[in-house]
Structure 1
Amino acid sequence: MMTILAYLVSAQEAELSREESARAAISDGMTLSTALSSGAMAVFEYASSQSESTLRPYLTARSKVESAIGLLKKSMAGRPSQLARVERIEAECNKTLSLSQEVVELIRMGGAHFAPMRLREVRELVNEQIVDNKLDTEIAGLDEPYVGKNEFTVSQYRQLIGLLLYGGSALAITLSILVPLLLSRQVTNRLNVIIENSKRLARRAPLLEPLKGADEIAELDHQFHEMAALLGQVSSQERAILANAGAVIFTIDHDSKIVEIGKECEKVWGYSAEDLFGRRLITLVKSDSIDALRMRLESIGSGETATFEADFVKSDGQFAVMLLNVHNAADQKFAEQRYYCVAHDITERKRLEKQLHDSEAKVRSLVENLPAGLMLIDKLGRVRFANGSALKLFNLRSVEEQMFVQRLTLPEGMTDLFSLALQQSGKSLLSSIQLDSGAVPIELSLNIAEVDSDKYVLAIFADLTERLTIERIKQELLRTMSDDVAQPMADIAQILIRLKSGELGELTEKAHSRLQVSVNESERLLRLFDDFLRIRMGDELFAVSIKPSSLSDIVNKAVGAVAVKAAAKKVKLIPVISECQINVDSERIVQVLVNLLTNAIKFSPEKGEIHIANDIAGNAVNISVSDQGSGIPAAALDTIFEAFKQVAVSDATRKGGTGLGLAICKSIVEKHGGTICARNNDGRGATFIVSLPLQ
């Protein structure tokens, strides 16, 4: 009796063990389903945020799926039909995980703009497995009853035990049957809620009320509600991304027909999405770009991405240069190929690039055609760039010959071109280069230039051969002119002197006075011509003979020299001189004052006044000449003492003059150790001040 009872108890324990195994299999299946949906939601969240931290739930879910598959295989090892179900469950899970992993890798490789399309495929696959009960059906099949060959004998033994144990055992058997049935009915009802929620999720419809409890089914239902909320957020973000991407995102088939397109196309191309749906992409490009576009699309292999440019025609007929990023998506779900495309409008960028290219070409042309040679030399003395004039001057075919530094004559004591450039930066210096034909004089300017964070010597030079030849010819011409012009003027002066002496007849007192002025002016004209030749020939060293002289005599002689001119214009000369002795060349100072008075008369109005005065300041005497003319422009005050400079361009013709007078005055005064300057009067007119040392 005890043996039978023990056997029956053992059989009952085995039955319970199989039932527990079935429950464990159901639990593992539910865990697997929950983890699969949780992993999919994690991938959606990662696609939205692109933050690696959001992938942790996905990795955890993937690990749970693999662990659950392992447990199911282990528990169903002795049940071939159930083991086959487990393998089918594993294949479905691997399909979802593989597609999810592809989305993750695509985002990591920079293809985030293609992610929404792949996510849509993940969502469809999850819906197929969860909503369509494909996965749940396989999981539920794991609970099929185990039919043993001795089950009927066990039942008989149970009846015997029931008889032996009277009604107690019968009650226990009844409970053992009713409880699983009730539990199974409760589980079935909760699973029906999960299935219904899956269907609602696929339709984007509101889900049923969440299940209560803390078991796996309730957890799975909770995951469905979280997935629904996350999918709503992702859909909203997808719409926002497509609306504000600034680029046209679309999908075409193997025949280049547009099957999907974002609304940005209306802003970029002027067409609505409805206008472009079903239209071939090649109809949007320029006619001469159709073949090129077709060839580029055909050259993109399965799973490859290509980037290229194409000229599109907008709805208003204008052209737009688009940068296309095209991915060939090889997907078994589609009978035809799909190309995921992102088009950026780069018309403005191309226009700016062309402007920059044209500007660079102009600068390059200007540099190449500069009459001056230009070279860029590194610290090792190697020529990195040379324009056409530089190569021509050095008889070089290209910069590779590297002969510049070796042929250049540097100043004495200088061996380093960089050191010379630092000392003479911005200055010009005379040098020469040694060619096979001999030394060539050049004017050289060195500067330090920084290019791409490296420092170079920028050498600018001009061939002085022709200029020096012209200067030599000019000097010879001026020397010839000095003989051909000075001699007749000297003869005229001699004739005037003979007339004055009475050698050619007696003169009246008035004629004698006028003749003296003519003698003085002829002598001054000879000196002016001589000074002109000196300035033109570069010799500004005027010879002076210093001796004590009376300032009153000097001023009176100068006033007498210009008295006729002043009288002709009715200009009054008013000298107010305090007598003093100064050490000067009196003839040269008279020349200075005559020049200043002549200018004052020219620029004074009729019946104007010219004041000549002096004052002593320390060891110097200041002689001032003030007129009532129009004054001197402020910008000209610093330049009027330069050779050939006048107050205005029209002065040379309207007032007469060569522009040499003030330059000669400055040279004479400086030879005496003095200074000369000009300033405007408070009322009108200008004042010239000559300052000379007393000793």
Structure 2
Amino acid sequence: MTFVAVPLPLLLVGLVARYTGVTAAGWALITVAVAAAALSAAVAARWCAEQRLRSDVARHERELVHTKRQILALVSHELRTPVTGVVGFSRTLSGRLDALDHDTLRLFVDAIDEHSNRLARLIDNVVVASRTPLVVVGGTCQLSTALSKAVARVGVDPDGARLQVALEGSLDACIDEEAAIRILANLIDNAIKFGDPEARIYLDGHVRNGHVVIRVANAGPAIPLGLRSALYDPFVQGDTTDTRTADGLGLGLHVCRQLVEAYGGSIHLVDHPRLTVFEIGLPAARVEPRRQVELPRPRRGPDARDVADGGRPSGRRPSTDRLVDHTPATVPTRRARVG
């Protein structure tokens, strides 16, 4: 703009010089000085803006490097723990198999199973969290069945006193079963890690306004208000990275939200005075009632015989039978894929 505006005052110098005592050369010098000052100010402002931009970029790069190191350290620690357990117990079994009694063998096998399941859940959450956009597969499932499998995957005794379940029916929802198991397993695992060790975990489910609603609640320390806005961000837990006491990568709730929203549902933290309650809602799968279908009999030819008429040729027109289709029809859902 400065270079465009400079010629205009120069053109006006001649006109001004005719009505003032200043010569045209004097006005030209004044105009050039003003233009030079404006240009210098513009250059200085641009230089300051570039310096601020470089400073911001450098700060973001330092933060990125720091975050990357934290994530790598966290992932290495969380993966090393179950791997060490599996390797340690398996080597002991391999070296002392004949010397161990049945109870000890059972203890070692259970420990290997627990560590391997934990490792599988960690890797599964990392894989799901790294996929953008998330590819899901359509279908319907019974959340009551998915809940039973999720409890088994986490390793909680379904008949134990710690788990209290109250479901209203089978709770058919528009979601792939494996995705439902992942969601419920992460919520249950989250309740175990951050709840009181001896407190009960409550799970209840019902249908409300066309959605299947599942709530997972546990007693324990309340989630700090400052962390609630970032609760579903990846690698975030209910405590800070330097002081975290619970295992895990902080991906459980992040994966839950990704999967729930991918299937048209929602997840949120419910305000409760004594419990930490997470509630998910998924579209309910509508099952049509059994319907009657009329199927015509094949038309009989002139030589066809009716058993009811003693084998005599029948000249009657074919009748119809009312048959009941016992196959429940579900509402088709959108096609997607959970990988």
TM-score under structure 1 normalisation?
0.27
Match of 1:583 in 2: 174
Give per-residue Cα distances to partners, 1:495-527, cap 9 Å, x unaligned.
x9xxxxxxxxxx999789947766654433331
Q: How far apart are the structure 2 equivalents of 1:651 and 1:574?
A: 34
**1:556 correspondence with 2:148:** yes
Match of 1:27 in 2: none
- Greater helix fraction, Structure 1 or Structure 2: 1
**1:386 correspondence with 2:45:** yes
Give the letter for the 1:386 counterpart: A
Question: Paired residues, what number?
Answer: 220
Q: Which has the larger radius of gyration?
A: 1
Give the letter for the 1:523 counterpart: A
Higher relative contact order (CA 8 A, sep 6+): 2
Match of 1:525 in 2: 122
Match of 1:642 in 2: 233
Give per-residue Cα distances to partners, 1:233-283, cap 9 Å, x unaligned.
xxxxxxxxxxxxxxxxxxxxxxxxxxxxxxxxxxxxxxxxxxxxxxxxxxx
Give per-residue Cα distances to partners, 1:585-608, cap 9 Å, x unaligned.
222222222221122112322431
Give the letter for the 1:543 counterpart: V
Give the letter for the 1:613 counterpart: D
Give the letter for the 2:152 counterpart: G
Match of 1:454 in 2: none
Task: Judge conservation of contact 2:122–2:248 (CA < 8 Å) in 1.
Answer: no
Q: How far apart are the structure 1 equivalents of 2:162 and 2:281?
A: 24
Q: How far apart are the structure 2 equivalents of 1:587 and 1:629?
A: 29
Match of 1:693 in 2: 283
Give the letter for the 1:619 counterpart: G
Structure 1 659/522 Cα, relative in aligned 2: closer, same or farther at 3 Å? closer
Q: How far apart are the structure 2 equivalents of 1:582 and 1:654?
A: 35
3-state SS in 2 of match to 1:611: strand
Q: How far apart are the structure 1 equivalents of 2:108 and 2:140?
A: 29
Task: Judge conservation of contact 2:171–2:206 (CA < 8 Å) in 1.
Answer: no
Give per-residue Cα distances to partners, 1:202-228, cap 9 Å, x unaligned.
xxxxxxxxxxxxxxxxxxxxxxxxxxx
Structure 1 658/652 Cα, relative in aligned 2: closer, same or farther at 3 Å? farther
Alpha carbon RMSD of aligned pairs, Å? Answer: 4.6
Match of 1:656 in 2: 247
Q: How far apart are the structure 1 equivalents of 2:239 and 2:108?
A: 39
Structure 1 651/606 Cα, relative in aligned 2: closer, same or farther at 3 Å? farther
Give the letter for the 2:190 counterpart: N
Runs of 5+ unmatched residues, structure 2: 1-37, 91-101, 286-339
Give the letter for the 2:128 counterpart: D
3-state SS in 2 of match to 1:663: helix
Deviation at 1:693, TM superposition (A): 1.1
Runs of 5+ unmatched residues, structure 1: 1-377, 394-441, 444-460, 497-506
Give the letter for the 1:557 counterpart: K
Deviation at 1:651, TM superposition (A): 8.3
**1:572 correspondence with 2:231:** no
Give the letter for the 1:618 counterpart: N
Task: Judge conservation of contact 1:673–1:692 (CA < 8 Å) in 2.
Answer: yes
3-state SS in 2 of match to 1:383: helix
Q: How far apart are the structure 2 equivalents of 1:526 and 1:565?
A: 23
What fraction of aligned residue pairs are identical, expressed as a percent?
25
Deviation at 1:634, TM superposition (A): 3.6
Give per-residue Cα distances to partners, 1:285-320, cap 9 Å, x unaligned.
xxxxxxxxxxxxxxxxxxxxxxxxxxxxxxxxxxxx
Deviation at 1:463, TM superposition (A): 5.2
Q: How far apart are the structure 2 equivalents of 1:540 and 1:643?
A: 13
Q: How far apart are the structure 2 equivalents of 1:511 and 1:553?
A: 28
Give the letter for the 2:207 counterpart: I
**1:628 correspondence with 2:206:** no
Deviation at 1:561, TM superposition (A): 2.4
Q: How far apart are the structure 1 equivalents of 2:108 and 2:171?
A: 30
3-state SS in 1 of match to 2:244: helix
Task: Judge conservation of contact 2:172–2:212 (CA < 8 Å) in 1.
Answer: no
Match of 1:97 in 2: none
Deviation at 1:640, TM superposition (A): 1.1
Q: How far apart are the structure 2 equivalents of 1:651 and 1:645?
A: 12
Deviation at 1:617, TM superposition (A): 1.3
Deviation at 1:389, TM superposition (A): 4.7
